[in-house]
Amino acid sequence: AWMGVTGLPDQLAATVRSRVGLPASGEGEAVRDRWLVLAQYDSVSPDGRLTTRRIWLRGLAGGRPALVLDFGPPGRPPGLALPVGLVLEAEMRFRPGSAGLRADLGERSAAAVPCREVPAGVSTGAALEAYGAALREDPWLESWPVVLGPVVPIPGELGWQVADAEGTSALPVPLTGAGSRSRGGLWQLAALSGGGPVTVFGECGHRGFTPLTAWQPGSSEPVALS
C-alpha cells in the first residue's frame, strides 16, 4: 500500500501514512456538536512505561463517533478524564485517516451535563456491517464503536455472546487477548440484564464485540463495565 500511496483516495492515503508513522498532511475536519461520553478506559503498555486512555464519544445531532486519546507517563494517569454519561457541547477536530475516528477535543461552549436519554442501539448484524464499511477506509482497523440494543448477554462454557433480543443473530465476546474484558465485567453485565434485554456500547471487530458500557431498561444511567 505504501508504494502506491500517491494513487490512493485521500482518506485511505492519510490512513496509510498514519499507519507507517508519518504525520498526516493537512488539517482535519472540525465538527461542533453535543458529544455524549460513551466509554472511558485505560490500558498499560507491556513495559509499563505508558498508559493510554481511550475515550469514546458520539455526536447527539450528527451521530458521528469520535475517539480521543490521552497518555500518561510511568506512575501517572493521563490528565484528561471525561466521566461516562456526560454531554459536552464542544468542537471536535478530527484527524485525517484512522477511518475518521481519531479526534482532539477543542473548545467547549457550555458546561458538561448528564445525558437523560439512552443512545439508540442497532442489531448485531448492523454492527458488523458498520465495521465492514469502516474497513474500506482503514483495512488495519481493529474495531468500530457501536451501540447494540436491545441485546441479551449469554454466558456459556465455550464463551460469552451478546445476542439480539429477537434471537436472530449474536456476536462472540473475546475473553483473552487484545480487546478482551474481565469476566467480572461480563458477570456485571449479566447481572444488569437479569436475563432480559439491555443496551450496550462497545467495540465491534474481527474478534467479536467487547462491551464497555450498559444501560438497563427504563434507566438513562450508564454503567461502566469493569
At 34, list the grid cell.
453535543
| CATH class, range 5-114 | mainly beta
- Highest mean pLDDT out of 11-20, 120-129, 153-162, 182-191: 120-129
Q: What is the dihedral of CA 211, 198, 40, 157, to 10 degrees?
A: -20
Say whether 117 sits in a helix, a strand or coil. Answer: coil
Q: Where are the domains of the chain?
A: 5-114, 124-224
At 195, list the grid cell.
436475563
Helical residues (DSSP H) of 5-159, grouped into ranges? 10-19, 124-135
pLDDT tens for each residue of 174-207:
987 655 667 789 999 999 999 999 999 999 999 9
pTM assigned to the model: 0.88
The residue-averaged pLDDT of 101-113 equals 95
What band does 110 get if pLDDT is binned at 50, 70 and 90? very high
The residue-averaged pLDDT of 10-26 equals 54
The reported pLDDT for the residue numbered 11 is 60
